[in-house]
Amino acid sequence: MALLFFFLFISITLGITYWAARRTRTTEHFYAAGRSISAGQNGFALAGDYMSAASFLGIAGLVSTTGFDGLIYSTGWLVGWPVVLFLIAEPLRNLGKYTFADVVALRLRAVPVRIAAALGTLATVVFYLIAQMVGAGSLIRLLFDIPFEAAVVLTGAAMIVYVLFGGMLATTWVQIVKAGLLLGGATLLGLLVLARFGFDPTALFAAAAEKYGDAVLAPGKLVSSPLEAISLGMALMFGTAGLPHILMRFYTVPEARAARSSVFYATGLIGYFYLMTFVLGFGAMVLVGPDAIRAADAGGNMAAPLLAELLGGTPFLGFISAVAFATILAVVAGLTLSGAAALSHDLWVNVVRGGRSESDEELRVARFATVALGLLAIGLGISLEGQNVAFMVALAFAIAASANFPALVLAIFWPRLSTAGAVASMLTGTLATVLLIWLSPTIQVDMLKEAEAWFPLKNPALVTIPLSFAMGIVVSLLRPEPEAEARYRALARQMHLGHEDT
Amino acid sequence: MSDRDGALERLAARRARVAGALTAAVMAVYFGFILLIAFSKPLLATKLRPGLTLGIALGALVIVISWLSTWLYVRWANRRYDAALDELRK
């Protein structure tokens, strides 16, 4: 049954890819869907890019086994969106073309800025991809009962096909279909749960408290150290505004006003989805039971699928499993496309070719980069089987928040940012984050079994975000660039009014 | 400096103020919630009614406020900011 829904999704998305492939002839189509996506469509696509299997299955699982604590993650994943809207979305759309590096490099010296930005982008994308691929392998094995390697290869192959042939247009519509399925599936499941409690969520929570004690409705062990909690919170809040595959979406809409509205839609959809997963988690706790959930998967990932089976039988289990798989597939497609854009647009065209390259050539390089990244993702996914890679999502967010976000904010709001300052900020953000994660308890104690870690926090954002801002500001002041400052004034009009010649 | 440049500069400063204030507000709400969880767990366990603790209500409120803040910004931008941009385009 699951396979039936799964093949249905694959056929529909391949149909979309075929349709999109015939419309994808230039780089503007490949990277930005010809700027033809409406605000509402982009709202769904942003939500689709963001709502990963980790947030659907993971948060539902966390709530079903610990109760309240899952809500801490839900709020953290959401609060980044207002920041995207207030600080980034519109200036990004007005100043850039395909990647966030366009905005940083616009008034600075292109070569060093593009190299540093591509490093930050690729680090974010690769860690995020690894987490998704390894997660996909285990999840698909669990849901569809096929071998891990086959699952990873299948995911990688489908994603390569979408991006390679359909570019951003296919990727966007895959996200929209997936977001619709995921929101529809979660709503249906939520209504089936609430129907048993007179459509009153508090009746559901009360039933959970009666069965498992009042503690499930109050904060538990997740936040024990305030510094740890704030550090993770900073990574989530500012990381969203530095995720390359999210930022790239703002180039697919016709103008800044549409970019603005699309964040409002996306925030509403994602917020609704997280409130729904909270209900689903409690539904699974009361109806399925934490012990049965942990028995199916120690990490709790099976909470939502088991709940679906209980309430709607095998067909509903099949539907929810297929939705979970579609979710992973769509997220990796978006990530791969943004990685390919960094390799082809930032590194090949603007560094190797010095900004002079034919659209045809750039398109060929972008497609080559897509295949290379896809194969890399498959290889890493298979070789890291069984490793605990959940921390890599937090790592990707920490890099995005420390390497990409500060440089973007400084480039948009601070006239005196110089090339040296931007490069220093981005390199510091990337390298310090990776280094501090290496020295953190996650790697040193949990993985390498050392007695203690040199750096106390599991997530370094509390240190690396301020450090990256400070490096950008101090180095810019020490190595000023008056021409860049003059160009900032000249670009002020474009930043607010957009590309007026087009 | 022409009038237009001056108007643009004032508009840019106004947008930066609105964006900065809203960002600070969302940060205060979210980190306030996290600090409450870290420092006053018993308070958040207070029951408002059977099945609803203060913690759950505040958590849901953080999500709703985040969304409302985007609505507030979009409303400001669609009315004031866009009107000022249209003036500048003339």
Among A225, A263, A275, the residue with its CB nearest the CB of B70 is A263
Output the pLDDT for position A356.
83
Q: Does B63 contact A274 at a Cβ distance shorter than 8 Å?
A: yes
Give the residue from A69, A85, A93 with the most B CB atoms within 10 Å of its CB, the best one to mutate: A85
In the prediction, which pLDDT does A328 show?
A: 87
pLDDT value of residue A479: 96
φ/ψ (deg, to 5) at A434: -65, -45
Domain that holds residue A240: 2-391
Q: Residue A340 in contact with residue A369, Cβ under 8 Å? A: yes
Average pLDDT over residues A213-230: 86
Q: How far apart are CA A169 and CA A37, in angstroms?
A: 8
For the segment B18-45, the average pLDDT, to the nearest whole number, is 94
Q: What distance in Å separates the CA atoms of residue A466 and residue A406, rounded to the nearest whole number?
A: 9
Q: What is the pLDDT of residues A2-55, one digit of tens each?
A: 778 888 888 999 999 999 999 888 999 999 999 999 999 999 999 999 998 777
pLDDT of residue B2: 64
Residue A315, classed as helix, strand or coil, is helix
Mutation target vs B (from A69, A263, A264; most B CBs, 10 A cutoff):
A264
Asked if B9 has any chain A CB less than 8 Å from its own CB, the reply is: yes
CB A187 within 8 A of CB A339: no
Is residue A478 very low, low, confident or very high in pLDDT (cuts 50, 70, 90)? very high
On whether the CB atoms of residues A294 and A216 are closer than 8 A, the answer is no
B63 to A74: CB separation less than 8 angstroms, yes or no: yes
Beta bridge partners of A194: none
Q: Which residues of A104-124 are buried (b: 16+ CB within 10 A; e: fewer)?
A: bbbbbbbbbbbbbbbbbbbbb
SS3 B2: coil
Q: Which of B30, B50, B77 sits opposite A233 (nearest CB)?
A: B30
Residue A251, H or E segment:
none
Average pLDDT for A172-177: 95
Residue of chain A whose alpha carbon sits nearest to that of B79: A257
So what's the pLDDT on residue A37?
A: 96
Residue A417 main-chain phi, psi, to 5 deg = -55, 130
Query: CA B87, CA A65: separation in Å to the nearest integer?
Result: 56
CB atoms closer than 10 angstroms to residue A441: 17
Phi, psi of B50 (to 5 degrees): -55, 125
**Do A308 and A319 touch, CB atoms closer than 8 A?**
yes
Q: Which among B19, B45, B66 has the least Cβ separation from residue A271?
A: B66
Q: What is the mean pLDDT of residues B71-84?
A: 95
Region A105-118: mean pLDDT is 95
| A476 found inside a domain | no
CB–CB of A202 and B52 under 8 A? yes
Confidence of residue A162 (pLDDT cuts 50, 70, 90): very high
A34 located within any domain: yes
Average pLDDT over residues A161-187: 95
A210/chain B closest Cα distance in angstroms: 9
Question: Residue A501: what pLDDT?
Answer: 54
Q: Check CB contact of B44 with chain A, cutoff 8 Å.
A: yes
Cβ under 8 Å to A: B residues 56-75: 56, 59-60, 62-64, 66-67, 69-71, 73-74
Q: Where are the domains of chain B?
A: 3-89
Minimum CA–CA partner of B43 in chain A? A218
Count of pairs with CB atoms under 8 A, one residue in A, one in B:
149
- Residue A502 is predicted with a pLDDT of 44
Which of A75, A212, A494 has the highest number of chain B CBs within 10 A, making it the mutation to test binding with B? A75
- The predicted complex's ipTM stands at 0.95
Residue of chain B nearest A226, judged by CA positions:
B38
Contacts of residues B33-42 at CB distance under 8 Å and 24 or more positions apart, as own/partner, are B33/A75, B33/B58, B33/B59, B33/B62, B34/A72, B34/A223, B34/A226, B34/A229, B34/A230, B34/A233, B35/A226, B35/A230, B37/A72, B37/A219, B37/A223, B37/A229, B38/A223, B38/A224, B38/A225, B38/A226, B38/A229, B39/A226, B41/A218, B41/A219
Tell me the β-bridge partners of B53: B47
Cα gap A416→B69, rounded to integer Å: 30
Say whether B51 and A71 touch across the interface (CB within 8 A).
no
Cβ burial of B40 (10 Å; 0-12, 13-18, 19+) is middle
Give CA–CA dist B47/A381, Å, rounded. Answer: 45
More confident residue, A137 or A239: A239
pLDDT at A334: 94
Percent of chain B predicted with pLDDT > 90: 76
- The number of angstroms, rounded, from the C-alpha of A33 to the middle of its chain's C-alpha atoms is 19
Quote the pLDDT of residue A470.
98
Q: What is the mean pLDDT of chain A?
A: 92
What CATH number is attached to the domain comprising A294? 1.20.1730.10
Query: If you measure CA to CA, which chain A residue comes closest to B60?
Result: A275
- Amino acid identity of residue A297, one-letter, is D
Calculate mean pLDDT across residues A99-113: 94
Q: Which residues of A touch B47 (CB under 8 A)?
A: 214, 217
SS3 B52: strand
- Worst-scoring range by mean pLDDT, A118-122, A271-275, A300-304, B27-31? A300-304
3-state secondary structure of A163: helix
Q: What digits encode the pLDDT tens for the residues A346-394? A: 999 999 998 888 888 999 999 999 999 999 999 998 888 777 676 788 8
* CA-based nearest residue to A243, from A410, A99, A43: A99
Query: For residue B49, what are the β-bridge partners?
Result: B52
Whether A73 maps to a domain, the answer reads yes
pLDDT in tens, A412-440: 999 999 999 999 999 999 999 999 999 99
Summarize the confidence of residues A258-265 as an average pLDDT.
Answer: 97
Distance CA A145, CA A439 (A): 37
Number of domains in chain A: 1
Q: What are phi and psi of B47, to 5 degrees?
A: -90, 125
Q: What is the mean pLDDT of residues A161-185?
A: 94
pLDDT tens sequence across A16-27: 999 999 988 899
Per-residue pLDDT tens for A284-343?
Answer: 999 999 999 999 888 788 899 999 999 999 889 888 888 888 888 899 999 999 999 999
The answer to whether residue A39 sits within a structural domain is yes
Indicate the residue of B38, B62, B85 with minimum beta-carbon distance to A75. Answer: B62
